[in-house]
Structures are given as C-alpha cells and as structure tokens.
Chain A
C-alpha cells in the first residue's frame, strides 16, 4: 500500500515539476542508452564468440575469459598502478578543486574571477592526444623545453624522459591535475554560490578572519557536495584514463612499470587478438569492483553520518 502511494507520489512530483523533468530527460535517455542498454551484453564475457554462431549461438566458456587477466605475471603491478593513481588523483583533484573554488570565490572583481575560471577550465576540453604532444614539447630529449632550455641553463645533463620511469608518477599526477582540477572546481563554485551571504556578514561582524570564514562557513556548507563527488568517483577507481596512461607517455615500453593500468594492459594485450569475450570480461571486472567500492564508501559514510550518505 505504502509503495503504491510512494510511486504515485513520485509520478505526481514528476508532473508537478514537469519543467525540471523535461530538463532531466536528455540526460536520462543518454544514461539509459549508454549505461543500461549495453548491460544485456554482460553475457558476452562468458562466451567464446565466433562470427559463424554469432553472439547468441557461440559456446559458453564459463570463466575462461577471465583467466588471462588473473594469470598475468604483471597482475600485481597493474592493479597497484590503477588503484594508487586513482586514489592519488581523487585526493589531489579534490584538494585542488576545492582550493580553486574557494580562491575564485574570494576574488572581488567578478570579471577577473570569470577570466581565471575560464583559463583553468580550458585544459579539460583538450584531447589527450593534444595534451600528449604538449608534454612532448617539454620532454623531447633533444629540443624539448626542459632539456634544451631549463636543464641547460642550470648546466645539468639532459634527461631521457621517455625511458626513465622514476619521474613519471609525478608527471602523470601533474598532468591529470592540470587537466581536471579546474573543471572539478565548477561544481564547488556553484555550491559556494549557494551559501547565504548573511553567514559571512555575521562572521564579519564577529570579527572572523578570512581563514576562519573559509574553515567555519564555506567548507562545512560544501561538505555534502564533497562527499557526493567522492562517493561517485569511487565508482571508477578500478578504471583509468586511457589517454593519460597511453598517449601522454607515448606508449613507451620502458615506462610500463609505472604507467601500465588495467585499461592500457587490456588494450595492448587484446589489440592483436580481437577477442570481444576477453575484453568484456575485463570491463565486467572493472564495473563490479567499481560497484563494490561505491557501496562500501557509501556505507562507510552512512556509518559516520547518516545524513550525508548518498543512498
């Protein structure tokens, strides 16, 4: 009984806010078409697909397609890279995005704030291939900016960036932050804009410093947004930005120990074979791990503060 009223009130709400419903519609359709529809294909992960029998008729092979992923000698390295980079990116981007948002919010000249904001967001729209060549312009061994200008000016020996792996964890984290932090900040800027200015006025009257205002008003108010964003990004913890790990290091073999992630490994291993069963198996593993991570993070948040949990 209560369920039907729940449902009918849901429909009622949808109708009541039909403008919002309509605005949501394209996104929902895209989500359905791109994320829910393909889920029917999960069974491909358990099949050895051939053209003759087609997708439906090909023989079932149980968990055979998963074997290559787990029997790989590099399994540990791939999982470590994927998880550590994802975590680092998450923390870095969170700290940077929130700092940028707070900083931009403090700029009194609105025009300047918009200009800064635009410049910081811009890299988000560049393709990773373009980014990889920007990085290449800095790191190219002969005439790259760093070797030919910076290191030369200090009288240092040139570094062969694309064959020396120790620098790459930093380079990748830097590139990722440069590319994504600005875009992440947009959401926090919006959240900050929603805070009632009266709180700041009251704080000002009480003589609170800027820093006090940030830590006691701004951050507590955007905490729910931070938590939601973190839970959501947990879902992709076992996936990696293919462009970042494949294009930016120029697919250089010597760097694999620090650049090989699940996505690049699968791409390199299966490029030759064209086996859609094995590729589907990997995607399934990634999704399952992501799902578990979202649920786990959410329940952790719920345990600490019930109000803040996503669901």
Chain B
C-alpha cells in the first residue's frame, strides 16, 4: 500500500518532467535562425565532399566563406549554395555558406552575432544598419590592403567615389555594392490620374502647390488617399523649400542638423532649433495640419503602420514623395504588379552623400578566419556575371529562362529569385535584365553615377561617442514629437516650440558644437 502510494506521484512527476523538457526543446527550436543556417551548412559540407579537389587551386587550403546578407530565406537556398560552392571550389578552393536573414530582423540579429563574436566572413551592412557605429566598436576588418591584393576587379569596376564613403579615420571598412550611387527625390504620380485631369506636374514644386489638385481630386476621386503620411520622417520639406540637407543623427528619420550643400567652403551646421530651419518646419507642419483638417491626409497618420506599397497596389495612391534614379518609374510599376504606369517630377538634384554611397555594402568581420578568401569571393561577385547572377537569380532553367545575352524571364514560384538581392550582392550592373527594364538601364546608371554632384561633406562621418548621453535624450524627444509633422496633432506650431525647448534642454547645442568641430577638423585634414 505504501509502496503504491510512493510510486504513483513519482510516475506522474517523471511524466511532468518529460513533458516540460519536451516543451522547452520545441520552444528553443522555434526562436532562432539555427534551422535554416544549420541545414544550409549541412548542404554545404555535402557538396564539399561530393566535389573533390579540382585543378587550379591546390595551393589554397579548402575554406568555407560564410555570407550573411539581407534577404528573406528562399526554398532553394541550399541548391544555389551548392552550385556556388562548386564554382568557387574550382576557382580558389572555397565553398560558401549562405546565411540570409529577413529584413525585419537583420539589424538585431547581426548585431547580436557581432556582440557574441560569432565567426563570420562576409557581412552585409549599410549606413542605415549602423555601419559606422559598428566600425567604431571594431566589428570589421580594415580592407585597404586586401582590396589592393585580392580585389582589383572591384576597384576597376567601382566608381572611385564609392570608396570614399565607407571610411572611418581614413581606413576602408566596407565594399559598396555597385549600383546607382545616389538617389534624387521626386514627386511620383500615377500616370492615368495625371492624364485624366491634365495636372501640370512641372509646376508642382512644393507641397503648397498641391492645394487646388487635392481639392479637385477630393471631389472627383473619393477612393484615393490624396496625401498618405506615415509618422516617421518629415517628407521632403527641406529639399523642396531650401538648400539645407541633413547631416549627423536622424532619429525616426527626422534630421537634427543641417548644412547648406551649395556652400562648399564654409560649412556651417544649423540645428533644427535655429529660427531659419524651424520656420521651414513650422510652415510645412501647419500646411499639413490644414490638409489634415480638410481630409486630404489619411486620418490615422499619427499611428499607421501600413506600407504605402500595399495601398498603391490597391489603387489608393496617386502621388507619393519618393526617391528617384533612372528607371525608378518602371521599378515602381513592377512593384505594383504592373497595374499602373508612373511618372516622376524630380525635385532634388541627386547629390552623393556618405550615407547614400554607403547604402549597401559588404564588410569582412573581424572574426573571419581567412579574410583573403572572403575578399576573393567578394571580388568574384563584383566581376563574374555567372557568380553574381547565380546568387541573385538562381540556376538557369530551374529559376529563370534566358531570353537573350543579358535578359531573363524569372520562372514563377520556382523557389529562388523572389528576394530582391540585386541591390544587395556584388555588382548590379552585370545582373541580367528582367522584363520591363530597358536595355540601356545600366548605361544610364553609369552616366547617372558619373554626373552625380558630390556633397561637400562626402566622406565625413560623425563620431557620436563623445555625446552619447545627449543623443539618447535627443532621440527620445524627437520620438515623442514626431507625429507633429503629420498633421494629425492639433496646433503643430505650439508642439514645435515645445519640442525645440526640450531639445535645447537635452543638449542639442552641445552636439551641434561637437559636430561642427569634427567637420572643421575633417575639412582641415583634407
């Protein structure tokens, strides 16, 4: 009797323990990138063993180069990885380990990997992924020598301005992807609406010029959201109303400091609390408020998380403030399922800034065990059409059909090629063209890159560490008042004044002085 009594609870206890530990295991598996990377590296080792040593690369020991990049994992990643490995194995005895990370978690995940000191070779990075902050913390290797030795193909292809940007204290830490080097800004319209109402887009240069057209379309096209605003950013108010451009930290995409880009010799930094700057902001904020009250702006502007692209596909957007480069209108058409044609009026001439030129790059992690080989792989992705197209578009016949020398037709639902890797990897100018892209796309980009105007601050990078405390506080003040620009908040002028008062208290002047000092020092060193 006593025995029985003792045993039953023990049995239940064991069951419970088992159940709990099982649960813990399954929980652990769900939450990480462990699965895709594990399976892909397994595939990689398989391919290494199957493809036995080929000629041409005996001198080099076999090495697996891991590539961490910005893109959603795809079904056939392992296939492409095996193909790439096979190819690189022959060339320089290297295999690759592809580790795609989805855009929404890219920044967080890579920074965690960097913090943990995980071994990695090529890492996709960009100015908007805190590249310079990570460089300052010593995340990446200095690439000048490696580039000179193993990356000659890269330097031959790349517009030299590119390599001026990703530098920290004079040393190169990133290799930009070769594409359009900068972007202008434009009002982009749906062509059918423009044609229907004969809207003279050449005459619309600021948001104020939209007033009569908003009024007309509000009556005639009630289904449209006339001016879609999301809470982050302030639109193009500085670009349309002044020569001021942003420099330094831009929390919530709202610039704190600006400079006049036409004045190349004597660069004076102004902060957003400067009367000249804040009067621009106030005019735009109040205009948005009046548009909001008239119902031209979406009523949930202060909180919406809807992507403008989704609304555009539903046919609710007729105008948007957009970035522009040659072929942008066609790109937008493809992104909107080919439903509408678009036409743009360029508002801002494209200027090359540090942030834009460093907008898409690969760096070599300081944890790389063979940086030379990593640079060789990167060099191949910049120079070898076979390698880069395999990476971006997949395998011919399986993932796309080749139509002509440099034009392809993707196969729908083929398991690869739907992630937009063209702007991420290597050299876009040797990517195959896709349906809708004009034949001269890449020549016009080359011309665009050659003609782009340099910002007088190209190559300058603000080192935030001396004013870290101030910047965290400025960031939270900006965050609190960021919806004031959307029009959804009553009395924007009062909000703006309140915000500026708080920014002053949070130390905006101190950061400004630091920024100006660093710029002067940088200028003097040039």
A249 to chain B, nearest CB (A): 8
Residues of the A chain whose Cβ atoms lie less than 8 Å from the Cβ of B136: 50
The B-contacting residues of A in range 141-180, CB under 8 angstroms, are 141-142, 160, 162-163
Whole-angstrom CA separation of A207 from B138 in the bound complex: 78
Q: Are A162 and B303 in contact (CB under 8 A)?
A: yes
Would B366 and A274 count as touching, CB distance under 8 A? no
Distance in Å: Cβ of A22 to nearest Cβ of chain B: 4
Q: Out of A25, A141, A254, A273, which one reaches B483, CB within 8 Å?
A: A254
Instruction: Decide yes or no whether B231 CB sits under 8 A from chain A.
Output: yes
Cβ of A26: which chain B residues have Cβ within 8 Å of it?
16-17, 20-21, 24
Chain B interface residue count, Cβ-Cβ cutoff 8 angstroms: 52
Bitwise interface map of B from 466 to 505 toward A, beta carbon under 8 Å scored 1, else 0: 0011011101110111111000111000000000001001
Do residues A51 and B303 form an inter-chain contact, with CB atoms below 8 A? no
**Complex CA–CA separation, A50 to B133 (angstroms):** 10
Residues 194-218 (chain A) with a chain B CB within 8 angstroms: none
Q: Which of A228-236, A264-272, A288-296, A297-305 contacts B (4 or more CB under 8 A)?
A: A264-272
Nearest B residue to A53, CB-CB: B138
Query: Contact between B472 and A52 (Cβ–Cβ < 8 Å)?
Result: no
Q: Which residues of A contact B137 (CB under 8 A)?
A: 49-52
B342 nearest CB across to chain A (Å): 27
A68 at the interface (CB under 8 A from B): yes
User: B117 contacts which chain A residues (CB < 8 A)?
Assistant: 51, 54
A253 at interface by CB-CB < 8 Å: yes
Contact yes or no, B468 A68, CB < 8 A: yes
Specify which chain A residues have a CB less than 8 angstroms from the CB of B96 in the assembled complex: none
* Known A52-B137, A273-B468; contact A252-B13, beta-carbon cutoff 8 A: no
- B139 closest partner in A (C-beta): A51
How far, in whole Å, are A72 and B9 apart by their CA atoms in the complex? 55
Decide if A71 is an interface residue (CB 8 Å cutoff).
yes
Q: A269: which of B115, B133, B475 is its contact (CB, 8 Å)? A: B475
Taken together as a complex, chains A and B put the C-alpha atoms of A256 and B24 apart, in Å, by: 37
Contact A72 B13 (CB under 8 A): no
Contact A275-B468, Cβ < 8 Å, known A160-B488, A269-B475: yes
Contact of B489 among A19, A50, A163 (CB under 8 A): A163
Q: Which residues of B contact A38 (CB under 8 A)?
A: none
For chain A residues 249-288, which have a beta carbon within 8 Å of chain B? 250-254, 256-257, 260, 265, 268-276, 278
Q: Is the CB of B249 within 8 A of A163?
A: no
Task: Report the separation of the CA atoms of residues A20 and B12 in the bound assembly, to the nearest whole angstrom.
Answer: 10
Establish whether residues B479 and A253, one from each chain, have CB atoms under 8 Å apart when the complex forms: yes
Chain A residue contacts of B153, Cβ below 8 A: none
Q: Quick one: CB contact mask for A47-73 with B, threshold 8 Å, 1 for yes?
A: 001111110000000000001100111
**Is A23 positioned at the interface, with any CB of B under 8 Å from its CB?**
yes
The answer to whether A19 and B471 touch (CB under 8 A), given A25-B17, A272-B130, is no
> Contacts of A275 on B, CB cut-off 8 Å?
468
Closest to A250 in B: B303
How many angstroms between the C-alpha atoms of A162 and B476 in the bound complex? Answer: 18
B103 to chain A, nearest CB (A): 16
Interface presence of A140 (CB below 8 A): yes
A18 within 8 Å of B (CB atoms): yes
Distance between Cα atoms of A20 and B305 in the complex (Å): 49
Chain A residues near B114: list those with CB within 8 A.
Answer: 51
Is A74 among interface residues, defined by CB-CB distance under 8 A?
yes
Q: Chain A residues with Cβ under 8 A from B12's Cβ?
A: 19
A254 CA / B482 CA spacing, docked (Å): 8
| Known contacts A163-B302, A163-B483, A253-B482; is-contact A23 B13 (Cβ 8 Å) | yes
C-alpha gap A256/B495 in the complex (Å): 13
Which residues of the other chain, B, contact A274 by a CB distance below 8 angstroms? 111, 130, 133-134
Min Cβ gap B12→A in Å is: 8
CB within 8 A of A270: which of B9, B302, B472?
A: B472
Identify the closest chain A residue to B481 (Cβ).
A253
Nearest-neighbour CB distance to chain B for A268, whole angstroms, equals: 5
Contacts of A71 in B (CB 8 A): 469, 473
Q: Which of B14, B299, B475 contacts A272, CB < 8 Å?
A: B475
Contacts A51-B134, A252-B303, A252-B483 given; does A22 touch B17 at CB 8 Å: yes
B133 contacts A23, CB within 8 Å? no
Q: Is B251 an interface residue (CB 8 A)?
A: yes
| Inter-chain contact A140/B300, CB cutoff 8 Å | yes
Least CB distance from B406 to A in Å reads: 40
Query: In the complex, how many angstroms separate the beta carbon of B294 from the nearest chain A beta carbon?
Result: 15
| Interchain CA distance A54-B115 in the complex, whole Å | 8
* B521 CB–A CB distance under 8 Å: no
Inter-chain contacts of A25 with B (CB < 8 A): 17
Q: Does B429 contact A (CB under 8 A)?
A: no
CB distance from A294 to the nearest CB of B (A): 27
**Which residues of B have CB within 8 Å of A19?**
6, 9-10, 12-13
- Find out whether the CB atom of A73 lies under 8 angstroms from the CB atom of B505: yes
Task: Determine whether the beta carbon of A23 is less than 8 Å from that of B469.
Answer: no
Residues of chain A within 8 A of B305, CB atoms compared: 250
Provided the pairs A74-B476, A253-B483 are in contact, do residues A52 and B366 lie with their beta carbons within 8 angstroms?
yes
Query: Which chain A positions have C-beta within 8 A of B472?
Result: 68, 72, 269-270, 273, 278
Flag whether B506 is at the interface (Cβ < 8 A).
Answer: yes
Cα–Cα, bound, A78→B249 (Å): 24
Are B476 and A269 touching (Cβ within 8 A)?
A: yes
Bound CA–CA A70/B329 (angstroms): 49
Nearest Cβ distance between residue B114 and chain A, in whole angstroms? 6
B222 to chain A, nearest CB (A): 14
Q: Which residues of A contact B473 (CB under 8 A)?
A: 68, 71-74, 269
Chain B, range 435-480, C-beta contacts under 8 Å to A = 464, 468-469, 471-473, 475-477, 479-480
Q: Are A50 and B302 in contact (CB under 8 A)?
A: no
Task: Report yes or no: B475 in contact with A52, Cβ–Cβ below 8 A.
Answer: no
Most chain A CB neighbours (cut-off 10 Å) among B10, B13, B111: B13
Residues of the A chain whose Cβ atoms lie less than 8 Å from the Cβ of B480: 253-254, 256-257, 260
Closest-CB distance, B249 to chain A (whole angstroms): 7
Query: Is A268 within 8 A of B476, CB to CB?
Result: yes
Q: Show 5 A/B contacts (Cβ-Cβ < 8 Å), sorted by A.
A: A53-B138, A250-B305, A254-B480, A256-B480, A273-B464
- Give the 10 A-B CB pairs with smallest separation, nearest first: A52-B138, A269-B472, A19-B9, A50-B137, A250-B303, A256-B480, A68-B469, A22-B13, A26-B20, A19-B10
Residues of chain B having any CB pair with chain A under 8 Å: 6, 9-10, 12-14, 16-17, 20-21, 24, 111, 114-115, 117, 130, 133-134, 136-139, 231, 249, 251, 299-300, 302-303, 305, 366, 464, 468-469, 471-473, 475-477, 479-484, 488-490, 502, 505-506
Which residues of A are at the interface with B, using a C-beta cutoff of 8 A? Answer: 18-20, 22-23, 25-26, 30, 49-54, 67-68, 71-74, 140-142, 160, 162-163, 250-254, 256-257, 260, 265, 268-276, 278
